Structure 1
Amino acid sequence: MGTEPLQMALPVTLPDDETFASYFGGEASLEVTHLKTTLATLKNSFHFTYLCGLADSGKSHLLYATCIHAQELGLSTILLSLREVIDFGPAVLDSLENLDVVCIDDVHLVAGIESWEKALFNFYNRFNEPGKSLVVTADLPPSMLNISLPDLESRLAWGTTFQIRSMSDDDKAEALVKRANMRGLELTDECARFLLTRLSRDMRALLDVLDKLDHASMAAQRKLTIPFIKTTLRL
């Protein structure tokens, strides 16, 4: 392969509304403040951030937001979802050191896979230089991932680690209302809670539903009410 990284997750696929501003933890949260600071001070140092949390903790949202913010600063970036690219093999990491910011989602999925562990360790060493930022996510801290390669576990533990708590139903309802407002769509707290009681509580699925309701509301020139939601989603 040439010098260009194999881009399995292109920046253009990033959700344009998954920004630091829409993060449920808020722009003033420690994790957002840290990530913004690392991008602003990239020139003179290497930054490594490890975000761990279970499903619906918002850690993937933070990766999207990091990439979007990096692009706004004129930095080259890529987001790799290991869930999506694991079958392509560790070659997807080749030449990523040519970029400024690399975000890797769900590192826990390759724990215990020798080829991936070696590739991640080697990439870390190639990338570790001033002007670079690496942000990874996993469901657990490095010491609990059952990593076979001690050197990789050590590298993952070197970063600034944030334990991201899972979103409660109140958090999800608030996030849905906030995301709707950012789209210019009025979603009441009552409607948000109705969606949570009748649909999957997976945040990504809920946001897909919100997108569908947004289009339906615009097409019908109707406000979002529980009867309208029931009709649109056939509940």
Structure 2
Amino acid sequence: MSNEPLQMALPVTLPDDETFASYFGGAQSLEVNHLKVSLKNMSQAFQYTYLCGLADSGKSHLLYATCIHAQEIGLSTILLSLREVIDFGPAVLDGLESLDVVCIDDVHLVAGVDQWEKALFNFFNRFSEPNKCLVVTADLLPSMLNINLPDLESRLAWGTTFQIRSMSDDDKAEALVKRANMRGLELSDECARFLLTRLSRDMRALLDVLDKLDHASMAAQRKLTIPFIKTTLNL
């Protein structure tokens, strides 16, 4: 089998507005500063970070932001969403050690699956050397994932771990307003809270709606108001 990494999550698919600057926890948060420093210090030693949090904690956003920042400073990178590639099997990990930065999202999805556990452990061993950076996310701490392979559990707990809290409705409203402002779009707090009460509270879905409203607002040359949002979204 070729040692070239399978291109299941190309860097060009990264959302261009999910950066450290737009992270709801703040561009100067401990986790953002740590990830920036990790990318800066790769030449000194292998850099490994474990991000732990439930849905809507922003951990996937941090993976996108890490990849975007890595690309900006000239590093090769890939974001591997296990939710998207799990059906392809652990062969998706083959050859990834040729890259500088690897981000693996939702590792909890393969906990207890022997083939995946062995593949992740072997990849970890191949990749853990200077000039490499690995960032992994899961919903729980390594000791709570029901991993069968003790050596993998030990490896996952090896680096710096951040437990990230889920976003409250206030956090989501603030994040929507902030993201709109970064696009040059004015979204009032009242409109943001209206979206939260009438739509899915999933942050990814809300950002997709914001994108739709952005396009509609530009096309109609209208500000975002609750009546305009109702009409645009058929609410």
Q: What is the percentage of aligned positions where both structures have the same residue?
A: 88
Task: Name the counterpart of 2:16.
Answer: 16
**Matched residues, number:** 235
Once residues 43 and 30 of structure 2 are traced to their aligned partners in structure 1, the CA distance between those partners, rounded to angstroms, is 22
Task: Name the counterpart of 2:35.
Answer: 35
After TM superposition, give the deviation of residue 3 of structure 1 in Å: 2.9
Task: Name the counterpart of 1:85.
Answer: 85
What does the per-residue CA deviation read over 1:173-228, in whole Å, with 9 as the maximum and x for residues that have no partner? 00000000000000000000000000000000000000000000000000000000
After TM superposition, give the deviation of residue 141 of structure 1 in Å: 0.2
Once residues 193 and 207 of structure 2 are traced to their aligned partners in structure 1, the CA distance between those partners, rounded to angstroms, is 13
What does the per-residue CA deviation read over 1:48-73, in whole Å, with 9 as the maximum and x for residues that have no partner? 10000000000000000000000001
What is the TM-score normalised by the length of structure 1? 0.99
Task: Name the counterpart of 2:65.
Answer: 65
Once residues 27 and 164 of structure 1 are traced to their aligned partners in structure 2, the CA distance between those partners, rounded to angstroms, is 15
Secondary structure in 2 matching 1:181: helix
Secondary structure in 2 matching 1:231: helix
Q: Provide the alpha-carbon RMSD of the alignment.
A: 0.5
**Segments of 4+ in structure 1 off by > 4 A?**
none
After TM superposition, give the deviation of residue 128 of structure 1 in Å: 0.5
Once residues 191 and 106 of structure 2 are traced to their aligned partners in structure 1, the CA distance between those partners, rounded to angstroms, is 32
After TM superposition, give the deviation of residue 98 of structure 1 in Å: 0.4
Once residues 102 and 189 of structure 1 are traced to their aligned partners in structure 2, the CA distance between those partners, rounded to angstroms, is 36
What is the TM-score normalised by the length of structure 2? 0.99
Amino acid at match of 1:83: R
* Structure 1: stretches of 5+ with no match in the other structure: none
Q: Is the 8 A contact 2:41 2:47 kept in 1?
A: no
Task: Name the counterpart of 1:123.
Answer: 123
After TM superposition, give the deviation of residue 43 of structure 1 in Å: 1.1
* Structure 2: stretches of 5+ with no match in the other structure: none
